[in-house]
Amino acid sequence: MENIVEIRDIVIEYKLKKYALRAVDGVSLDIAAGKITALVGESGSGKTTVASSLLNCISSPGEIVSGTVRRHTGPNEVTEVEKLGENALNEFRWKQISMVFQGAQSALNPVVTIFNQFYETMVVHENYKPKSERKKITKQEAEQRIRYLLDFVNLDADRVMTSYPHELSGGMKQRVMIAFSLLLDPKLIILDEPTTALDVITQDFIFKLLQKVNREMGIAMLLLTHDISVVAKYADYMAVMYGGRLMEYGTVEEVFEHKYHPYTRGLIDSTPAINKDVGLLRPIGGEPPDLLNMPAGCKFHPRCPQCKEICKQSEPKTVTMETGHRVKCFLYEDEA
């Protein structure tokens, strides 16, 4: 399986005045070409921070303390994201990977028409290329591309191109953002909680649309969500985060079948949309971890129904099973 990017042992901290807040600790993750990978976990588990590291755009004062983010630029060519120059990084940002940030609809410029926002991005992007490769983009050329993309996300291109953001509904704006993320033909789109603040019917519509983008255009997706029922329905692979750690990774089928990690099991067993029998719903007890006051040992141990003595003292390593499935829990040490 070809990967678009590979994260290895990454540690990310927010350097605050009095202390450093370690938001991500030792995460390794491959993003497979052409597939939908979901990064799932409670709010504050480090999803946005990990995803931002793929583009080297972690919000200030965050920084990568150790580890690497490598992108595959050709069959035998690998480049570390941190080593790209500013222009190459900007080109990489849109062309290889684009990110739709959480609440991105509100990032649309309120005083510029949708057409001009797309067009300006296309023009600006040319400037990131080496001089010899730059070309002038005419409005006619741009219009063709923009029309195609707005059609693709089921928007009325004639109407939307000439509109200002406030003239569109929340769901329409999110579709505009998806079309926008496709503008420069990326290999991977990162979507950070893409349907928060939208009603349930619109949410479903947006996910079906994302699935169409993935299947028909072959574009890979990294979907950040706290909603495990969305993962079950739309993703190919899933990575479960807890307190800045990656606790479990595998195909969606395998994770749901085995629920190896007690936290994953808790997430699945407490989700009504998956557990049709409400009598079987079991909420996870306890509170999400406080990053400034993390428990010793396994970070999930205060909430874990299967906690053993060793779990309170040391942190388990990640075990890789024969199928490639990975789990960070002492219960599976013997399977390595």
Ligand X SMILES: Nc1ncnc2c1ncn2[C@@H]1O[C@H](COP(=O)(O)OP(=O)(O)O)[C@@H](O)[C@H]1O
311 vs 182: CA distance, rounded Å? 45
Give the residue carrying structure tokens 């699935």: 211
Q: Please tell me what DSSP assigns to residue 304.
A: -
How far does Cα 125 stand from its chain's mean position? Answer: 23
Sheet holding 77-80, edge to edge: 20-32, 3-15, 62-74, 77-80
For the segment 8-47, give every residue that binds ligand X (CB under 6 A).
Answer: 14, 21, 23, 41, 43-47
If one asks whether residue 49 binds ligand X (CB under 6 A), the answer comes out as yes
Rank residues 48 and 163 by Cβ distance to Mg ion and give the closer one: 48
Nearest distance, CB of residue 47 and Mg ion, angstroms: 5
Among 5, 26, 31, 48, binds ligand X (CB under 6 A): 48
Q: Please tell me what DSSP assigns to residue 55.
A: T
Nearest distance, CB of residue 300 and ligand X, angstroms: 15
Strand ranges, E, within the chain: 3-15, 20-32, 36-40, 62-74, 77-80, 97-100, 188-192, 220-225, 237-242, 245-251, 319-320, 326-327
Which of Mg ion, ligand SF4, ligand X, none binds 330 (CB below 5-8 Å, type-dependent)? ligand SF4
Rank residues 192 and 248 by Cβ distance to ligand SF4 and give the closer one: 248
Rank residues 27 and 179 by Cβ distance to ligand X and give the closer one: 27
Which of ligand X, Mg ion, ligand SF4, none binds 14 (CB below 5-8 Å, type-dependent)? ligand X
Nearest distance, CB of residue 60 and ligand X, angstroms: 6
Among 184, 291, 307, 331, binds ligand X (CB under 6 A): 291
Q: Are 32 and 220 in contact (CB under 8 A)?
A: yes
Q: How many residues bind Mg ion (CB under 5 A)?
A: 2
Nearest distance, CB of residue 30 and ligand X, angstroms: 19
Which of ligand X, ligand SF4, Mg ion, none binds 331 (CB below 5-8 Å, type-dependent)? ligand SF4
Helix, strand, coil percentages, rounded to 5, for the chain: 40, 25, 35
Sheet holding 220-225, edge to edge: 97-100, 188-192, 220-225, 36-40, 237-242, 245-251, 326-327, 319-320
60 vs 6: CA distance, rounded Å? 23
Phi, psi of 227 (to 5 degrees): -100, 105
Nearest distance, CB of residue 268 and ligand SF4, angstroms: 14
Nearest distance, CB of residue 151 and ligand X, angstroms: 32
Q: Please tell me what DSSP assigns to residue 35.
A: S
If one asks whether residue 288 binds ligand X (CB under 6 A), the answer comes out as no
Which of Mg ion, ligand X, ligand SF4, none binds 318 (CB below 5-8 Å, type-dependent)? none
CB atoms within 10 A of CB 258: 16
Rank residues 48 and 181 by Cβ distance to Mg ion and give the closer one: 48
Q: Which stretch binds Mg ion (CB under 5 A): 12-20, 27-35, 44-52, 70-78?
A: 44-52
Can you give 170-190 as a three-state secondary structure string?
HHHHHHHHHHHHHCCCCCEEE
Rank residues 146 and 311 by Cβ distance to ligand SF4 and give the closer one: 311
Among 37, 45, 48, 98, binds Mg ion (CB under 5 A): 48
Nearest distance, CB of residue 293 and ligand SF4, angstroms: 17
Instruction: Give residues in contact with ligand X (CB under 6 A).
Output: 14, 21, 23, 41, 43-49, 59, 62, 291
Binding site for Mg ion (CB under 5 A): 47-48
